[in-house]
Structure 1
Amino acid sequence: MIRYYYDLTDGSIFFETNCNSDRTLEQDLEVFKPLQERVKGTYSYIDKEYEDIKFDLENSVGVSVDLDTGNLIFEHKGENGDTIIQDPITEKITRLEAKTELQEQALAELTMYISTLGI
Structure 2
Amino acid sequence: MTAADPAPEARDPGLQPERTRLAWRRTTLSCTVVAVLAVKLAVHDEITAVGVTGLALSALVWIGFLAVAHRRIRSLSAARPVPLSYRGAWLATGCTIALAVFGAALIR
TM-score by structure 1 length? 0.28
Give the number of the structure with larger relative contact order, counting CA–CA contacts within 8 Å between residues 6 or more apart.
2
Between Structure 1 and Structure 2, the one with more helix by share is 2
